[in-house]
Amino acid sequence: MEKRNLGSSGLQVPVIGMGTWRTFDVRGASALKNARHIVETALQQGSNFFDSSPMYGAAEQVLGEALGEQRSEALIATKVWTSNRNEGQAQIKRALSYFGNRVDVYQIHNLVNWLEHLALLEEYREKGYVGAIGATHYSSSAFGELRRVMKTGRISVIQIPYNPLQREVEQDILPLAADLNIGVIVMRPFYEGGLMRRSPSAEELKPLAEFGVMTWSQALLKWGLSDTRCHVAIPATSHVSHMIENAAAGNAPWFGPEERAYVARLARSH
Q: Which of these segments, 90-98, 189-197, 201-209, 259-267, binds ligand NAP (CB under 6 A)?
A: 189-197
Name the residue nearer to ligand NAP (CB basis): 120 or 258.
120
Tell me whether strands 75-80 and 183-187 are parallel, antiparallel or unpaired.
unpaired
CA distances from 186 to 94, 157, 229, 232, 268 (A): 25, 11, 10, 6, 20
Query: Which of 60, 104, 227, 245 contacts ligand NAP by CB under 6 A?
Result: 245
- Closest contact distance (angstroms) between CB of 111 and ligand NAP is 9
Q: Does 238 bind ligand NAP (CB under 6 A)?
A: yes
Q: Which of these segments, 25-33, 88-96, 134-142, 255-263, binds ligand NAP (CB under 6 A)?
A: 134-142
Name the residue nearer to ligand NAP (CB basis): 169 or 236.
236
The Cα angle at residue 199 between residues 197 and 200, in degrees rounded to 5? 160
Number of C-beta neighbours around residue 216 at 10 A:
24
Own/partner contacts of 266-269, CB < 8 Å, gap of 24 or more, are 266/200, 266/204, 266/219, 267/163, 267/164, 267/165, 267/195, 267/220, 268/164, 268/165
Q: Which of these segments, 64-72, 98-106, 133-141, 224-232, binds ligand NAP (CB under 6 A)?
A: 133-141
Binding stretches for ligand NAP (CB under 6 A): 19-21, 23, 51, 109-110, 136-138, 159, 187-193, 196, 217, 234-239, 242, 245-246
